[in-house]
Copies of this chain bind each other. A is one copy, B any other.
């Protein structure tokens, strides 16, 4: 099966936003064995949209359209679709009900503009929008499927994952593809590639593909194979995962299920704490609340997270967390001594099982000859033990914050599992 992606919206053509929807869709479709052969972007312009639909229909079996479905006046897409399929727009009562509910739950009136979002071309298959008000519309013309979705990424992604892809897979007999993605932390892409080189080299003969998916603080390894027998694919790939773990198991912190969001190290750590009935507290200086925000982003955080203090000044470290002021004169606040006191005192303050403390120089300011930008100290402690480690990250402030968070959470997971 061949698919094309069409993005509608002036904001793409003037370079105001990066087209990440196309990347996400291309990945998902390729993983289902559907080849994406063409992508295009046009503006909010009737003739351009009609021409793009016509051109796509001569080449592809499936045309995925995003954007142009917002409630405001710059969006002419829906009217253009209806005309293209010679179908009048009519109100879908189910969609209207969900729109009215959407606003009433927020204590707001449903305006006329909102109500117009329930209009869909007659005869189309309506794709429910669980996260917004614009429905998806699945239409057909001369054997080609056209699927129109909103441009808001999380709305589109939910429609694709929950409704559209399962429907396409079940209605067409697509070959099986099996993926397994391994999450690693605490090692960079190049070092990991060297470590697992001989294991990687033998994958090709088994027709298994390996992809490195690096991001700050985490490298994901995706193994993929396809064939007629899903069980066989599963066994083949699972055996390779086990082999990898004997080589690089100390860096593996979890796995990603296909079609689901990547469980970051914060989620894996939260799960571990929940299973053990334990809790955590934080003293974050250079990360400024970022690590806490990662933990509290996960539903049910209150079961494992007691709280945090962000002592951004030396005075706050001293007054709120009883750091010995002599430390600021001797080793400075970015030091082993300081993070040990921060961790132990914040654990006592929140009466948590474990505590993490972080002090570093995120940059661009604050560096000294001995402590360049990217210098970070992290401590983890329990009632029995405290561990402190030094890290040297790079020069980019936001990447230093993200890398520090990943290191702190990975270190804590190992500390709890006594793998450190």
A105 adjacent to chain B (CB < 8 Å) = yes
A254 vs chain B, min Cβ distance (A): 16
Give chain B residues whose Cβ lies under 8 Å from the Cβ of A42.
37-38
A24 adjacent to chain B (CB < 8 Å) = yes
A325 adjacent to chain B (CB < 8 Å) = no
Cβ A392 vs Cβ B106 within 8 A: yes
Q: Quick one: which of A14, A295, A374 has the most chain B CB within 10 A? A: A14
A225 adjacent to chain B (CB < 8 Å) = no
Q: How far is the CA of A113 from the CA of B212 in the complex (A)?
A: 14
Cβ A305 vs Cβ B293 within 8 A: no
Cβ B105 vs Cβ A299 within 8 A: no
Cβ B289 vs Cβ A293 within 8 A: yes
Surface stretch bound by B, among A66-74, A80-88, A137-145, A412-420: A66-74
Q: How far is the CA of A284 from the CA of B152 in the complex (A)?
A: 28
The oligomer's copy count stands at 2
A329 adjacent to chain B (CB < 8 Å) = no
In the complex, chain A residues 390-404 whose Cβ is within 8 Å of any chain B Cβ: 392-398, 401
- Cross-chain contact of A211 among B11, B45, B222, B301 (Cβ < 8 A): B11
A361 vs chain B, min Cβ distance (A): 11
Cβ A106 vs Cβ B189 within 8 A: no
- Binary CB contact string for chain A from 269 to 309 against chain B (1 if under 8 A, 0 otherwise): 00000000000001010111111110111011110011111
Q: How far is the CA of A212 from the CA of B364 in the complex (A)?
A: 34
The range of chain A's interface size is 35 or more
Cβ B107 vs Cβ A189 within 8 A: no
Give chain B residues whose Cβ lies under 8 Å from the Cβ of A17.
23, 213
A10 vs chain B, min Cβ distance (A): 6
Q: How far is the CA of A17 from the CA of B22 in the complex (A)?
A: 10
In the complex, chain A residues 6-28 whose Cβ is within 8 Å of any chain B Cβ: 10-20, 22-28
Surface stretch bound by B, among A162-170, A238-246, A312-320: A312-320
A281 vs chain B, min Cβ distance (A): 9
A347 adjacent to chain B (CB < 8 Å) = no
Q: Quick one: which of A43, A213, A374 has the most chain B CB within 10 A? A: A213
- Cross-chain contact of A299 among B26, B39, B200, B363 (Cβ < 8 A): B363
A383 adjacent to chain B (CB < 8 Å) = no
Can you list 19 contacts pairing A with B, beta carbon distance less than 8 Å?
Answer: A11-B211, A13-B38, A15-B30, A18-B19, A18-B20, A37-B42, A71-B190, A72-B189, A72-B193, A106-B393, A284-B289, A288-B296, A288-B308, A296-B362, A297-B398, A299-B365, A305-B312, A306-B313, A316-B350
Excluding A40-B40, A302-B313, 10 further A-B contacts by CB distance (< 8 Å) are: A14-B26, A15-B26, A106-B374, A111-B190, A113-B193, A131-B396, A287-B296, A289-B296, A299-B363, A309-B310
Q: Which 8 A-B pairs have the closest CB atoms?
A: A288-B296, A289-B289, A15-B26, A289-B292, A15-B27, A290-B293, A308-B310, A40-B40
Binding site for B on A (CB under 8 A): 10-20, 22-28, 30, 35-43, 45, 48, 52, 55, 70-74, 105-107, 111, 113-114, 131, 152, 179, 181, 189-190, 193-194, 200, 209-214, 222, 224, 259, 282, 284, 286-293, 295-297, 299-302, 305-313, 316, 319-320, 349-350, 362-366, 372, 374, 392-398, 401
